[in-house]
Copies of this chain bind each other. A is one copy, B any other.
């Protein structure tokens, strides 16, 4: 069996990572996760995409809200509000344990990779879950109303500002996490799958870490992206709105152009089958909307069957 590496952001990406985790032996999958959304809040180190991947693969994720854990309670948040604390970023009582434990471990000298591995182990997750880097890379959103950190754009401003550009502060000096670099350098690497996360907000930060683009280009393993757009619309999140603001027509053609030079193939939904022929790379047309576990697993199987 060959090794599979998945590049992953939050919700949509985590769903495919879950599917891959169901069909691959644990030792054959490494999930490299975006940390551009990470931030310090209330003295805690919060890694939203890592948490979404951990909760999703552990079967703990809330399936309707799209973030955090299921059956969450919010008593901490209510009490913090009574004390006049900052409540613009919602932290559930269970979720909070992840941030407190992560922060404690980071302060004790562990790297984000080590902390993430420990959390994954505690949650019974088999595949390797790896931050893209142990160094701080922070997504900064330039908008028509000014520059803002990612979480202000995404949570506080609910993606309403019009985006003009994106920067990944710290990326130039960041190093690919050791486990991520090792996975990409494996001689038995069978494929790199770019999960259906937002290419600009969730995947580009990963690709901005020096060395990863070269590693993808150098390897013989095919790089396959899964389009996060279906029929020109995102399942969740601001992908289509963002593309329009950047002057792009939301659709699989623009996704393929964005990933030009990085990917060898693209996976698109049946809703976009008519666009397949005009794409600059081979495309697999298959259902990509992952409403439940069955669809997640089916998509993972379809991609692996196509690639390996």
User: Which residues of A come within 8 Å of B, CB atoms?
Assistant: 42-44, 69, 72-73, 75-80, 82-85, 92-98, 100-101, 103-104, 107, 118-119, 122-123
| Identical copies of this chain, number | 2
| Cβ-defined contact, A103 with B73, below 8 A | no
Shortest distance between the CB of A109 and any CB in chain B (Å)? 13
Contacts of A76 in B (CB 8 A): 76, 93-94, 96-97, 100
Can you identify 25 A-B contacts, CB atoms within 8 angstroms? Answer: A42-B100, A43-B100, A43-B103, A69-B79, A73-B73, A75-B75, A75-B92, A75-B93, A75-B94, A76-B94, A76-B97, A77-B97, A78-B94, A79-B95, A80-B97, A80-B100, A82-B97, A83-B97, A83-B101, A83-B119, A83-B122, A84-B118, A84-B122, A85-B101, A93-B96
Whole-angstrom CA separation of A56 from B168 in the bound complex: 48
Q: How far is the CA of A92 from the CA of B79 in the complex (A)?
A: 11
Kindly state the separation between the CA atoms of A72 and B104 in the bound complex, as whole angstroms.
24
Q: In the complex, what residues of B have CB within 8 A of residue A69's CB?
A: 79
User: Given that A42-B104, A43-B104, A73-B73 are known contacts, is A93 also in contact with B79, CB under 8 Å in the complex?
Assistant: yes
- Chain B hits for A84, CB < 8 A: 101, 118, 122
Interface of A is mostly: helix
List 18 additional contacts besides A73-B73, A79-B98, A83-B122; criterion CB under 8 Å: A42-B101, A42-B104, A43-B43, A43-B103, A73-B93, A75-B75, A75-B92, A75-B93, A75-B94, A76-B100, A78-B94, A79-B94, A79-B95, A80-B97, A83-B97, A85-B97, A93-B93, A93-B96
Q: A144 → chain B, closest Cβ, in Å?
A: 31
Once the chains are docked, how many angstroms separate the CA of A124 from the CA of B50?
Answer: 39
| A43-B83 CB under 8 A given contacts A76-B94, A93-B93 | no
Task: Decide: A83 near B98, CB < 8 A? Known: A73-B73, A75-B73, A75-B93.
Answer: yes
Question: Nearest 3 A-B pairs (CB), nearest first?
Answer: A79-B97, A75-B93, A79-B94
